[in-house]
């Protein structure tokens, strides 16, 4: 008996009856108009389709529509947990990691106020605590709220489409040497910050698309690329495969246009992780495509290729590298003053202090050793959870999706060593959602039905 292409995309576990109450069972594919997947997808759309400089009137960078919605997810998750009829059953390690991160930031926040803060530091600390709440809300909503595989894939497909939109904007900025996002006008929003300038670097032009910075844009593209390849490789129809290969191609093209060393490193790391589950045929095909793409880029923009090569071969002479290394002694001098809980969450703020271009250093100064351990634990826990899901998976598609999610955490660890990642809201929202999805695939592959289905408690019928 053969199955239709439409059914091939539906995970068989999604049809497993989920216990809701006494003598009451229902499939996890039960229809819902607004669920966690819808909220997460809308958040991604608001985050990527609207330029980062546009905020709600009277607010700062946290006034981006996506950030406001992200902060509201905390209230949603808490209300669900407090309701006796909506308590989520089953274990979820992401809850403990989110709690650890939030407690550490709260302790360092108190430590900062204890030593005395300037007005600039105090305002920044308050913003960081709201951002921490948004991160926790998104992680918990994604890990606990995704009901089945189809809804999880819906969120990731939204991410791929939105990343492709960002890529198109970036390509247009590069070839037109014009920031077209300045023409994006959204009623009800105002200019909260200046758009990233279109600047020359070597033989190319750096672009940031709708993100805040060129590096942030490149990292977002590196995060999205494995999922574009995933949906292209496992699409049920020829038309869908062609569509997602085109989207993945757009995302890949945008990475070198940012002229960002970080983006290229992150993309290579992501590809190495997902390539571990590819067939040799797929590896060969993508290798050939990469060679052709490199040849076309060298033929159309030879100066850009030369700049990209120099960024690695001439790194020892690059001011962006030497300025980072010159700060090592300064970071050590400040760190030894308050090594355990740091100077206070969000208090290393420009222009009062220098840019560090290294989130691990910034976390060490603001949150101390405990903060670095909490941030590292966040990514390590997500990697472990998705590795367990990878081992439990029974199909090539599930294993590839797990590998793609794992690549995002390895990418995040590397990216945080090259720029102040948690200072950029597009990155913050996306990485929080992706951490939560790592917890979701761990739950959806769990051998115990009570954990896997994560059904709600409705009491006696």
- How confident is the model over 418-439, as pLDDT tens digits? 888 898 999 999 999 999 999 9
Least confident of 202-206, 210-214, 311-315, 347-351: 311-315
Tokens encoding 228: 């574009």
Quick one: pLDDT at residue 324?
74
Residue 327 has pLDDT above 90, yes or no: no
Whole-number Å distance between alpha carbons of 208 and 256:
12
Residue 164 has pLDDT above 90, yes or no: yes
Quick one: pLDDT at residue 47?
93
DSSP state string for 26-64: EETT---SS-HHHHHHHHHHHHHHS-TTEE-TT--GGGS
Look up residue 87 and give its DSSP letter: P
Quick one: pLDDT at residue 15?
65
For the chain, how big is the Rg over CA atoms in Å? 22
Whole-number Å distance between alpha carbons of 393 and 403:
11
Whole-number Å distance between alpha carbons of 91 and 110:
30
User: What is the per-residue pLDDT across 191-244, written as a single tens digit (0 to 9) for each?
Assistant: 876 666 677 666 677 888 889 888 999 999 999 999 999 999 998 889 999 999
Mean pLDDT of 447-459: 60
Residue 6 has pLDDT above 50, yes or no: no
How is the chain split into domains, by residue range?
5-453
Q: What is the dihedral of CA 290, 295, 297, 299, to 10 degrees?
A: -170
Quick one: pLDDT at residue 367?
92
Quick one: pLDDT at residue 176?
85
User: What is the per-residue pLDDT across 199-213, written as a single tens digit (0 to 9) for each?
Assistant: 766 667 788 888 988
Q: Nearest Cα to 39, choosing from 444, 429, 452?
A: 429
Is 443 within 8 Å of 384 (Cβ atoms)? Answer: no
Mean pLDDT of 293-316: 71
Question: Is pLDDT larger for residue 20 or for residue 335?
Answer: 335
- What percent of the chain has pLDDT above 90? 44
Quick one: pLDDT at residue 5?
42
Mean pLDDT of 403-413: 95
Tokens encoding 260: 């960002």
Whole-number Å distance between alpha carbons of 376 and 36:
26
Sign of the dihedral defined by the CA atoms of residues 304, 308, 309, 311, in that order: positive
C-alpha triplet 38, 44, 46: angle, nearest 5°: 100
Quickly tell me which residue has 């009491």 as its tokens.
Answer: 459
Mean pLDDT of 318-327: 74
Which residue blocks in 116-183 are alpha helix, DSSP H?
119-145, 149-176
């Amino acid at each position: 008996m053969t199955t239709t292409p439409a059914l091939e995309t539906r995970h068989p576990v999604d049809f497993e009856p989920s216990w809701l109450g006494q003598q009451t069972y229902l499939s996890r594919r039960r229809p819902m108009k607004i669920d966690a997947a819808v909220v997460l997808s809308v958040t991604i759309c608001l985050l990527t389709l609207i330029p980062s400089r546009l905020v709600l009137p009277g607010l700062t960078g946290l006034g981006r529509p996506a950030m406001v919605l992200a902060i509201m997810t905390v209230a949603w998750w808490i209300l669900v947990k407090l309701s006796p009829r909506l308590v989520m059953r089953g274990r979820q390690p992401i809850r403990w990691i989110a709690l650890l991160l939030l407690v550490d930031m709260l302790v360092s926040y108190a430590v900062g106020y204890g030593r005395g803060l300037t007005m600039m530091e105090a305002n920044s600390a308050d913003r960081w605590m709201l951002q921490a709440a948004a991160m926790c809300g998104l992680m918990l909503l994604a890990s606990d709220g995704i009901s089945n595989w189809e809804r999880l894939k819906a969120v990731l497909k939204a991410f791929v489409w939105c990343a492709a939109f960002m890529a198109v904007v970036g390509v247009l900025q590069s070839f037109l040497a014009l920031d077209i996002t300045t023409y994006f006008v959204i009623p009800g929003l105002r200019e909260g910050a200046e758009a990233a300038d279109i600047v020359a670097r070597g033989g190319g032009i750096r672009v940031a698309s709708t993100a805040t910075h060129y590096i942030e844009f490149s990292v977002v593209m590196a995060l999205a690329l494995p999922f574009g390849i995933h949906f292209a490789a496992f699409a049920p129809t020829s038309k869908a495969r062609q569509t997602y290969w085109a989207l993945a191609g757009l995302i890949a093209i945008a990475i070198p246009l940012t002229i960002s060393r970080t983006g290229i490193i992150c993309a290579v790391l992501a590809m190495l992780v997902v390539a571990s589950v590819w067939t040799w045929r797929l590896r060969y095909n993508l290798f050939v495509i990469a060679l052709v793409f490199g040849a076309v880029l060298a033929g159309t923009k030879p100066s850009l290729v030369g700049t990209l090569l120099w960024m690695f071969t001439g790194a020892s002479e690059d001011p962006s590298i030497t300025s980072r290394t010159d700060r090592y002694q300064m970071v050590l001098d400040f760190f030894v003053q308050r090594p355990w809980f740091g100077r206070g969450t969000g208090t290393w703020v420009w222009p009062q202090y220098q840019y560090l271009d290294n989130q691990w250093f910034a976390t060490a100064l603001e949150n101390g050793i405990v903060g670095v351990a909490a941030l590292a634990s966040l990514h390590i826990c997500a990697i472990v959870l998705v590795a367990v899901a990878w081992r439990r998976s029974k199909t090539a598609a599930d294993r590839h999706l797990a590998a793609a999610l794992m690549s995002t955490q390895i990418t995040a660890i590397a990216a945080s060593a090259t720029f102040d990642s948690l200072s950029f809201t597009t990155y913050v929202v996306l990485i929080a959602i992706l951490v939560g999805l790592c917890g979701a695939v761990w739950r959806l592959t769990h051998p115990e039905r009570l954990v896997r289905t994560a059904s709600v408690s409705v009491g006696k019928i």
